[in-house]
Amino acid sequence: MSERTIPYKLYLEENEIPKQWYNVRADMKIKPAPLLNPGTLQPLKAEELAPIFCDELIKQELDDDTAYVDIPEEIREYYKTFRPSPVMRAYNLEKALGTPAKIYYKFEGNNTSGSHKLNSALAQAYYAKKQGLKGVTTETGAGQWGTALSMASAYFGLDCKVFMVKVSYEQKPFRREVMRTYGASVTPSPSMETEVGRKILEAHPGTTGSLGCAISEAVEVATKNDGYRYVLGSVLNQVLLHQSIIGLEAKAALDKYNITPDIIIGCAGGGSNLGGLIAPFMGEKLRGEKDYRIIAVEPASCPSFTRGKFAYDFCDTGMICPLAKMYTLGSGFIPSPNHAGGLRFHGMSTILSQLYHDGYMEATSVEQTAVFEAAEKFARTEGILPAPESSHAIRAAMDEALKCKETGEEKTILFGLTGTGYFDMVAYEKFHNGEMNDYIPTDEDLAVGFAGIPRFEGNEF
Amino acid sequence: MSERTIPYKLYLEENEIPKQWYNVRADMKIKPAPLLNPGTLQPLKAEELAPIFCDELIKQELDDDTAYVDIPEEIREYYKTFRPSPVMRAYNLEKALGTPAKIYYKFEGNNTSGSHKLNSALAQAYYAKKQGLKGVTTETGAGQWGTALSMASAYFGLDCKVFMVKVSYEQKPFRREVMRTYGASVTPSPSMETEVGRKILEAHPGTTGSLGCAISEAVEVATKNDGYRYVLGSVLNQVLLHQSIIGLEAKAALDKYNITPDIIIGCAGGGSNLGGLIAPFMGEKLRGEKDYRIIAVEPASCPSFTRGKFAYDFCDTGMICPLAKMYTLGSGFIPSPNHAGGLRFHGMSTILSQLYHDGYMEATSVEQTAVFEAAEKFARTEGILPAPESSHAIRAAMDEALKCKETGEEKTILFGLTGTGYFDMVAYEKFHNGEMNDYIPTDEDLAVGFAGIPRFEGNEF
């Protein structure tokens, strides 16, 4: 064992943290479709987005051409406290599976937000502060994004108001206290604090909430209060830009040891982790320099890639946000309350949607008991207790590694371990007690969501 | 900022992980007093300990002379998945405090147990497996040790039975699920499963439990079941030996950058973290090669160093364990239920007790609201949400840094950040809601505990 040339952790040093983010859109021949104004159905201009988003972030959102964007020194300073994050070789998991495959994972969970979300939260809080704003509003599902934004807001001295999907708020009471430790206020959504919240509660009194609904509330509060803007932890182009640091670091670490992955796997909710992880690899693929198999993994109970429509749709339930062209289950789609694995968003990043549509990546869906089985196996072999979200990628990576066991192929697999599951023990408890089941929406269930996708010329699906 | 020569994280590589543990007893002129058989009051022999502890661990426990012990390759393999742990420069905290002091912390929280406890759990599980045992029993307070042992047992394929102090079991329901994820069974203590548990429940029906009591139960189960042994996460000499990896790594990282700490600070419950952190520094001090100020920090509500007696006492409430000469509040001492900061053990490592008694280190006690204030400040500046236990050291380090601000001295402070507080949000919630208070035992309260310390010739105090 001692003559191994590849260590457990592939090291990068502080001065090797990327100094620029990479914008994959610059290398896409077919760019993601622009956001549309839901009233005029025309592409949104920067000035229309200005009441919602920070100015610099709007620039990043709309910029399809600049390949590399400098990471401001102030953001890099904080990055240095928890980055570079390690690329780990899963020697113990490989051994337990008896696979000839070589499994690597980029582990983003070693910061208090428990996930990769902090990468973009810091960027968004920084630009808000730089613009002289008082505060930011946002939504959070599992709570990782809300925690990340709370941390970033505390660091840059911003007020932070979080709308938390009610089911998560109830299942994860301790997340609220973490956010409060960082000075944020947390409201379960839907709430009576907003017009859109009151409307939704009236129509669906017992609702457990959804990300789409929490987004609507956060946007309303941002636009109705001076000095506030809305920030979003996933889906948007700007978020994928910031998250490219995951892939850039992963690639730098692998390159250092002359490792080239055959398969790259990431879980996909709104797409922030997957988009970040694959960015530089996808860039090479788009430029025709190299080929990789790239796989998005989503829950069978919220299958936007594998069963959704590629169409313009609202990002929020209240239908006040711009229209985005993406794989979507309809903004009214709410996963079954049995669903415990995160990745609950009804849509998907427009960048990833376009790339998937154009055949640059695959998608697969997995059922949640199989996901928790993989999570437990991973915890017992690799030590790390994974987030349910991340465990979707673990499941797919294990399945690929087991295929290698059958064929004898020594493939190199890289997957994104987005975070830790310390705040997901209610879900783990369900799993331990045998109370977890695999609810998969029927075609009829999905039809209800699809019916809410707006119909207009050019939006056939 | 970019011309800094000291990075945020002081790096060590995998091949720089120490290959030997360091046994500070080898350099102590006055050795810690031996454990006594509570019946005969004679020093315990290895064969008397064999029904309780693993053979190899008994050897380590009784060996006052060997300075360096090889770390078995199997243990090193797992160490490589989460070690070296970083020594962090607290640039952001220094800035927030406006201090000229240079603050470093050795961060042991980046593993699923959430603390340094995994270092010794792996060693103890390994030796149990090597001896051909079926399983191990133990107690846990905050749950970090129980989680660590569950992880280690899962890795080496051992059965693991954990008695968890009832108050923690109730305050930290999710800890139980983490342990179950790793396949352990968890019982709230005192329980009806053991004789000693039933006795304690009869005498104190409403008790919230104590570490001493949980130890008694775990020892009883280990000695009454074939193929089981008891393992302990703190206090013992063997544990301090394993934990020396903290200090050895910290010293190696600091040496690499030519940094010499003036002050070394660690929180002290049973002494496992403090003993591990200071080991190589104390070695230099004992050998007269260098001088350091070394400070133990304990809760004002459980002040064994600062208000305890230096005497032979039981390590457990049931009084079935060996007698250890240590600073103790009496094995019957139970901290007030208001106490939320961990470090609840009534006694202290015999090694650290002797070193403190001989003037090689200082001790101070801090009140819990001040501890949580420090924790929050630390979280907001350094990002990491600290465990309440660790926050005792943060409090003391901040106080020393603030003294430097007054005097203008540029002292270098190293403290041990033993773990993260993700499972301590009930305590944080109390703090946020202003429901935390500073209960300090009166002399009369302490007298009750002292009355339980055994009286015999040579045990005057």
H/E/C letters for each residue in A281-319? HHHHHHCCCCCCEEEEEEECCCCHHHHCEEEEEECCCCC
| CB spacing of B155 vs A383 below 8 angstroms | yes
What pLDDT score does A24 carry? 98
What pLDDT score does B1 carry? 41
User: pLDDT-derived band of residue A458, with 50, 70 and 90 as boundaries?
Assistant: very high
User: pLDDT-derived band of residue A1, with 50, 70 and 90 as boundaries?
Assistant: very low
| CB spacing of B420 vs A112 below 8 angstroms | yes
Residue among B306, B346, B343, B316 nearest B328 (CA) = B346
Mean pLDDT of B424-431: 91
pLDDT tens-digit readout, A263-305: 999 999 999 999 999 999 999 999 999 999 999 999 999 999 9
Which among B7, B177, B385 is the nearest to A112, CB-wise?
B385
Enumerate the residues of chain A whose CB falls inside 8 A of the CB of residue B432: 177, 180-181
Task: Measure in Å the smallest separation between the Cα of B280 and chain A Cα atoms.
Answer: 26
Sort strands A87-89 and A102-107 into parallel, antiparallel or unpaired.
antiparallel
What pLDDT score does B2 carry? 43
Percent of chain A having pLDDT more than 90? 87
| CB spacing of B155 vs A381 below 8 angstroms | yes
Residue among A327, A306, A309, A329 nearest A317 (CA) = A329
| CB spacing of A110 vs B112 below 8 angstroms | no
Chain B: residue whose CA lies nearest to A87: B81
Q: Which of A341-350, A405-414, B346-355 has the lowest mean pLDDT?
A: A341-350
What pLDDT score does A141 carry? 82
pLDDT tens-digit readout, B16-53: 999 999 999 999 999 999 999 999 999 999 999 999 99
What pLDDT score does B454 carry? 95
Mean pLDDT of B302-329: 92
Percent of chain B having pLDDT more than 90? 87
Angle of helix A195-203 versus helix A211-224 axis, rounded to 10:
150
What pLDDT score does A212 carry? 79
What pLDDT score does A348 carry? 96
Enumerate the residues of chain A whose CB falls inside 8 A of the CB of residue B376: 181
pLDDT at residue B195 above 80?
A: yes
Enumerate the residues of chain B whose CB falls inside 8 A of the CB of residue A112: 379, 383-385, 420
| CB spacing of A11 vs B9 below 8 angstroms | no
pLDDT at residue B3 above 60?
A: no
Give pTM, 2 decimals.
Answer: 0.95
Mean pLDDT of B208-217: 87
Task: Measure in Å the smallest separation between the Cα of B395 and chain A Cα atoms.
Answer: 16
What pLDDT score does B91 carry? 97
Residues A252, A250: Cα–Cα separation, whole Å: 5
User: pLDDT-derived band of residue B318, with 50, 70 and 90 as boundaries?
Assistant: confident
What pLDDT score does A167 carry? 85
Task: Measure in Å the smallest separation between the Cα of A7 and chain B Cα atoms.
Answer: 7
Residue among B24, B32, B111, B150 nearest B422 (CA) = B111
| CB spacing of B428 vs A181 below 8 angstroms | yes
pLDDT at residue B406 above 80?
A: yes
Residues A370, A299: Cα–Cα separation, whole Å: 10
User: pLDDT-derived band of residue A119, with 50, 70 and 90 as boundaries?
Assistant: very high
| CB spacing of A1 vs B77 below 8 angstroms | yes
| CB spacing of A13 vs B7 below 8 angstroms | yes
Task: Measure in Å the smallest separation between the Cα of B448 and chain A Cα atoms.
Answer: 36
What pLDDT score does B227 carry? 97
pLDDT tens-digit readout, B265-307: 999 999 999 999 999 999 999 999 999 999 999 999 999 999 9
Which among A91, A151, A384 is the nearest to B383, CB-wise?
A151
Chain A: residue whose CA lies nearest to B111: A384
Q: SS3 for A69?
A: strand
- Cβ-Cβ pairs closer than 8 A, A with B, add up to 134
According to DSSP, the residues that pair with B310 across neighbouring strands are B327
- Please spell the DSSP secondary structure of A3-19, one letter per residue: T-SS-SEE---GGGS-S
pLDDT at residue A92 above 80?
A: yes
According to DSSP, the residues that pair with A202 across neighbouring strands are none
User: pLDDT-derived band of residue B179, with 50, 70 and 90 as boundaries?
Assistant: very high
Mean pLDDT of A364-373: 97
Mean pLDDT of A352-363: 98
Which among B80, B183, B380 is the nearest to A7, CB-wise?
B80
Percent of chain A having pLDDT more than 70? 99
Picking from A422, A424, A430 by the largest number of B CB atoms within 10 A of its own CB, the best residue to mutate is: A422
Task: Measure in Å the smallest separation between the Cα of B310 and chain A Cα atoms.
Answer: 39
Mean pLDDT of A86-103: 97
Task: Measure in Å the smallest separation between the Cα of A155 and chain B Cα atoms.
Answer: 6
| CB spacing of A112 vs B423 below 8 angstroms | no
Chain A: residue whose CA lies nearest to B2: A73
- The alpha carbon of B421 is separated from its chain's Cα centroid by a whole number of angstroms, namely 15
